[in-house]
Structure 1
Amino acid sequence: MTLTKSFKDLVQTRVARDPAFATELLREGIDTMLSGDVDTGKAILRDYIKATVGFEKLGEATDTPPKSLIRMFGLRGNPQARNLFGVIGYLQKHAGVELHIAARPR
């Protein structure tokens, strides 16, 4: 039987070698949350955080304990807006991008 890599390992490998993919993953996580699918958005952002900055460094940068951040982006996590926007702000700065919201007619 052939051993396969887990999806999370594949994402982490791709993020490490493809900055455009990393930026798109960050954008997709935030966009998914704004579209109302908060749980999926948190899961995408959790994968992004693990593959880029890591929870330890993110905790130092946002003055939030890493375990709290892990819970925040976990399945039952319910982050306060202040904490969530603080994390998103740092992730944008770390990635060297600035994301904007644009209204589109339905």
Structure 2
Amino acid sequence: MPLTRDCKKTIQARAERDPDFACTLLDEAATLFLNGEPDAARMVLRDLVNATIGFEQLANTTQKSGKSLHRMLSGKGNPSMDNLADIFSALREKMQVSLQVQIVPQP
């Protein structure tokens, strides 16, 4: 019988120990949103929040309830742009990184 491990736990463990991987997840979440894939972006953000700042600290930082933040980043969540900006800001602050948008023309 093969050994298996929950994908979310694997992602969380790696993001906790590898800051470059966490930065890649943040970049991927932003890219997914900007490319019109909000469902996937929310899932990546949820994993990243769990691995870095945690929902309790995110709630304190954003002054929103943890339950509301969980709903926003769920599969059926629908966060406003203001809420997304607050979430990205809290993650950037916690991770001590900045985001820069680069437009690449399609071939």
Moved over 6 A (4+): none
TM-score normalised to structure 1 length: 0.95
What is the match of residue 38 of structure 1? 38
TM-score normalised to structure 2 length: 0.94
Q: Could you give the per-residue CA deviations for residues 13-62 of structure 1, whole angstroms, max 9, x where no partner exists?
A: 11111110011111101111111000000000100001111111100000
What is the match of residue 80 of structure 2? 80
Shift of 1:82: 0.7
RMSD of the TM alignment (CA)?
1.0
Structure 2 residue identity aligned to 1:54 = G
Question: Please, which runs of 5 or more residues in structure 2 have no aligned partner?
Answer: none
The 2-side partners of 1:82 and 1:9 are apart by: 29
What is the match of residue 52 of structure 2? 52
Between the two proteins, the alignment pairs up a number of residues equal to 106
Question: Please, which runs of 5 or more residues in structure 1 have no aligned partner?
Answer: none
Structure with the bigger RCO (C-alpha within 8 Å, sep 6+) is 2
What is the match of residue 15 of structure 2? 15
The 1-side partners of 2:99 and 2:84 are apart by: 15
* % identical aligned pairs: 39
